[in-house]
Structure 1
Amino acid sequence: MSTLTAELKEKAKKVPQRGMMDNVMEQFESAANQINLHPNIKKILSITNNEIIVNFPVKMDNGDVEIFTGYRVQHNNALGPYKGGLRYHPTVDIDAARALAMWMTWKTSLAGLPYGGGKGGIKIDPSKYSKTELERITRRFTFALADNIGPEHDIPAPDVNTNSQTMAWMADTYMSTRPPAERTANQHVVTGKPAGSGGLEGRDRATGYGVYLSIKFWAEKNNQSLEGKKYIVQGFGNVGYWAAHFLEKDGAILVGVQDAFGSIENQKGIDVEGLFNYMQVNDGSIADFPKAKEVKKETFFALECDICIPAALGNQITKENALSIKAKLIAEGANGPTNVEGEKILTERGVTIIPDILCNSGGVVGSYFEWLQNRNGELWQLDEVMAKLDKKLKESFNKVYDYAKAEGIDMRTAAFSIAIKRIEKAYIERGIFP
């Protein structure tokens, strides 16, 4: 064992594990210190503007009534309406919503969008409910939130375990609560809708495409080719699949995948489309995929690879597994997948992390395009959308990469610094309402 590895292991033992809110606050503090953020603005950005908790009853298919708890946290709207996803997952609670909402504020600011940050969802395991029950749950949740969302106030989008169908139900419910003359004018209350219901062509792949572009831009900056590069993906849903889809086209080799049902490896390569098609007939699971071997869940991040893409949930890379990671590049497809302790270990080992607020921002940029399309009564073609995404995301990546190099700091601190500076400027120019 090397001296560095031994030292890092000893450090890791002494540091207690913390939650997502602890992580985002430490990241915020680090960037605030880096840019000497005005103390008054620091106070404002350290807290959320609004926190909404709703408890609502829904009748199940068998006639029983269940009570669900939903959350919507609105962190900051200095730059524009609150923007962020709604997730359906057992881990959803007020602390998770606060952390995710704060990350959204930095993400939209970094991307140069006229948005603030919000996040929320329902504490639920959607696999335990039928489609008709999920529709009723979604519509009842939307009705409960109706006075707190709106196309110029707070604009939800899909997140973990929600999709374009969820957004279609939300849009329809919300529009049904408006006066008849205003209904169609409120279509952009949510983004991520199906293309036939006001959605954007390419929105389904925007987040994964952004992850792929971030890796591609990083490789170009470092005079490297993606041809032959081995990568692993945690989470093979919308983000993980599309990132892998585009990486494969550039010659990169998928060697490992993990989802909620299992972990698989094939160092000779896993066919992306083959795995995707297998999942369609296997209840969305990668388990027992015949062209790969099963590996233990706890050893997944230790697989031999060049690039690691965590695209599932938060707090996946921690002090427990950071030392075993072989990848030299982490591209964060999920929100907050690397906690502070894990990141410190990776940084000391020389591993590069493309931070979530940059790496997975293709989704919110795509949402912005959909919002504009609805607002202006336009219809954009897929090639036009992809070209716009490419241009916007390249601008963001270059800003962060160049700032990090110039200041001698990591890319996360650089991304946070740029994002927070933009919000600070808005407050300084406009002043604080007395």
Structure 2
Amino acid sequence: MTTIKGATKKSMLDNVMQQFNKTADSINLNPNIRKILSVTNNEIKINFPVKMDNGEVRVFTGYRVQHNNALGPYKGGLRYHPSVDAEDTKALAMWMTWKTSLAGLPYGGAKGGIQIDPKEFSIQELERITRRFTYALGENIGPEHDIPAPDVNTNEQTMAWMADTFMSTKPSSERSRNQHVVTGKPVGSGGLEGRNRSTGYGVYLTIKLLYKSRGESLQGKKFIVQGFGNVGYWASHFLSQDGAIMIAVQDAQATIINENGIAVQALFDHSKAVNGSVKGFVGAKEMDSDLFFALPCDILIPAALGNQITEENAYSVKADVIAEGANGPIDTEGEQILLRNGITIIPDILCNSGGVIGSYFEWLQNRNGELWSLEEVMQKIDKKLSEAFYKVEGFVEEGEIDWRTAAYILAITRIEIAYNHRGIFP
């Protein structure tokens, strides 16, 4: 994943708290509920030893932050990245609370990760790291308590190891009832058809619906993508199928451009063959990475890490629409510049919520002992995400406000209603 040269590193927690406080002020949020939502319920830090292939023992640091569960079990991804720390994990957990609420799911929000670069380890070492971390988490996760999913640098194999480890700690009579402790598993191990594409599909769908509301199609629209992992690839795949043209891609190793269009599948095949990078792709030329956001285009999809667009580079953005494939890719100062320049931002808690919606259906499938086809799954995700989109759009038009403010108002209001109905124990 990419970080932008020269971009100021601002705390993602600062961003999410500014967004939350702005919304709380605008809706006169109950002060007691405001106190509850401004902090996390649980913050778990685990240092755990793992034996490496050469016999050396290394100690790793893992985190699981559970922000709020007023609407249901904690839900959120697990990432493997050197930048993983307690503060960013808290921010990501809070964003998950808003995301699941906005989508109308019976979940709260959580996030976790291990502070490693997975490229430095063998597949056998990654398996041992994952299993040891899962074992160390113990009862802090569970199918009705906290349900991890894939995130940055984790995938269906990671989830299969987690599920197997967790299930192995249970009596044999209970193991099958714990299969949905994680989502994003391989289809052959209880996973959901289409889960791997659900986040990217959601990015595509929200873009499509936005242009549809303007009376426009995606045909001929030019888009650029930062990050060409699972989310960036699938969003690009669906956009190109609908007639949009990918003209530039940026990852941690290179930024490439072809103003006549980059073949999405060919680039994906190339990146798989060269350890996940777009560098060296023959169908495009390399360009200065610092100029990526300044490229003239219709759609910009930041699908890498947080805080990529800041007050230092937001002024250069030429896109008409920004679709947040990543969590928190724009800081609050950068966003104000973009909004003043008339750029529409589809916020992360709406734009990339296809992933957690897909996770919800996998969880239901496991829980109820059902099996759905790919077509059925995509129809379910489409319906659920479209409903959320149109609710936010209605608030945008009614209140003449930006999309993030509208999404936050809807998400936090739903949680406030739950607390008002239930009260605060004791």
State TM-score, norm by structure 2.
0.98
Equivalent of 1:342, from 316, 331, 334? 334
Aligned partner of 2:292 in structure 1 is 300
> C-alpha separation between the residues in 2 aligned to 1:426 and 1:317?
34
Deviation at residue 404 of structure 1 after TM alignment: 1.3
In structure 2, what is the equivalent of residue 193 of structure 1? 185
> Matched residues in 2 for 1:349 and 1:407: separation?
19
In the alignment, is the contact (CA less than 8 A) between 1:17 and 1:341 conserved in 2?
no
Alignment of 1:246-257 (within 5 A): 246-257=238-249
After superposition, residues 117-196 of structure 1 pair within 5 angstroms as: 117-196=109-188
* Distance (whole Å) between structure 2 residues aligned to residue 332 and residue 384 of structure 1: 26
Q: Deviations over 1:27-56 (max 9, x none)?
A: 001111121111110000000000000000
CA distance in 2, matches of 1:280, 1:129: 18
| Counterpart-to-counterpart distance in 1, 2:272 and 2:96 | 31
Q: Distance in 2 between the 1:63 and 1:315 partners? A: 38
Q: State yes or no: 1:407 paired with 2:399.
A: yes
Amino acid at match of 1:71: Y
Aligned to 1:368: 360
TM-score (normalizing by structure 1):
0.96
C-alpha deviation, 1:18, in angstroms: 2.6
**Aligned partners of 2:380, 2:139: CA distance in 1, in Å?**
33
Query: Which secondary structure does the structure 2 equivalent of 1:279 belong to?
Result: helix
How is 1:412-427 mapped onto 2 (pairs within 5 angstroms)?
412-427=404-419
Pairing 1:241–2:233 present: yes
Question: Secondary structure at the residue paired with 1:101?
Answer: helix
Deviation at 1:17, TM superposition (A): 5.8
Tell whether the 8 Å contact from 2:9 to 2:307 is kept in structure 1 after alignment.
no
Query: Which among 32, 35, 45 is matched to residue 53 of structure 1?
Result: 45
Describe the SS at the equivalent of 1:301: helix
Distance 2:146 2:45 in 1: 15
The CA deviation string for residues 106-158 of structure 1, in whole angstroms up to 9 with x for no partner, is 00000000000000100001100000000000000000001200000000000
The corresponding residue for 2:268 is: 276
Aligned to 2:4: none
Unmatched 5+ residue regions in structure 1? 1-15
Match of 1:314 in 2: 306
Amino acid at match of 2:92: L
CA distance in 2, matches of 1:299, 1:177: 51
For residue 261 of structure 1, report the CA deviation from its aligned partner: 1.2
Please tell me the residue identity of whatever aligns with 1:413.
T
Following the alignment from structure 2 to structure 1, what is the Cα–Cα distance between the partners of residues 68 and 200?
Answer: 26
- Match of 1:180, SS state, is coil
Task: State percent identity of aligned pairs.
Answer: 70
Which SS does the other structure have where 1:207 is aligned? helix
Q: What letter corresponds to residue 290 of structure 2 in structure 1?
A: E
Q: What amino acid is the match of 2:138?
A: A
Task: Find 2:77's aligned residue among 68, 81, 85.
Answer: 85
Answering whether residue 277 of structure 2 is matched by residue 285 of structure 1, we say: yes
1:291-329: CA deviations, max 9, x gaps?
111011111111121100000100011111111111010
Whole-angstrom distance in 1 between the partners of 2:244 and 2:272: 23
Between the aligned partners of 2:183 and 2:68, the Cα distance in structure 1 is 19
Q: Which amino acid aligns with 1:358?
A: L
Structure-1 residue corresponding to 2:324: 332
State which drifts further: 365-374 or 406-415.
406-415
Aligned to 1:355: 347
Equivalent position to 1:105, from 97, 109, 125: 97
Query: 2:3 maps to which residue?
Result: none
Contact 1:336 1:356 in 2 (8 A): yes
Counterpart among 204, 211, 225 of residue 217 in structure 2: 225
The 10-residue stretch of structure 1 (298-307 or 350-359) with the greater mean CA deviation from structure 2: 298-307
Distance 1:85 1:225 in 2: 33
Q: After TM superposition, give the deviation of residue 105 of structure 1 in Å.
A: 0.1
8 Å Cα contact 2:96-2:111 kept in structure 1: yes
Partner SS for 1:304 = coil
Amino acid at match of 1:166: T
Q: SS of the counterpart of 2:90?
A: helix
Report if aligned partners of 2:10, 2:307 keep a CA contact under 8 Å in 1: no
- The residue number in structure 2 matching 1:9 is none
Q: Note the alpha carbon deviations across 1:271-290, whole angstroms, 9 max, x for none.
A: 00110111121121100111
Task: Supply the AA of the counterpart residue of 1:62.
Answer: N
User: 1: distance between equivalents of 2:253 and 2:10?
Assistant: 25
Deviations 1:311-363 (A, max 9, x none): 01000111111111110100000000011111010011110000000000000
The corresponding residue for 2:35 is 43
- Asked if 2 retains the 8 angstrom alpha-carbon contact of 1:54 and 1:71, the reply is yes
Q: In 2, Cα distance between the equivalents of 1:174 and 1:185?
A: 11
Unaligned runs of 5+ in 2: 1-7
Name the SS for the 2:382 alignment partner.
helix
1:72-130 deviation per Cα after TM superposition (whole angstroms, max 9, x unaligned): 00000000000000000001000011000000000000000000000010000110000
Opposite residue 243 of structure 1, the aligned amino acid is: A
Aligned residues: 420
- Deviates further, 294-303 or 345-354: 294-303
Aligned residue number for residue 209 of structure 1: 201
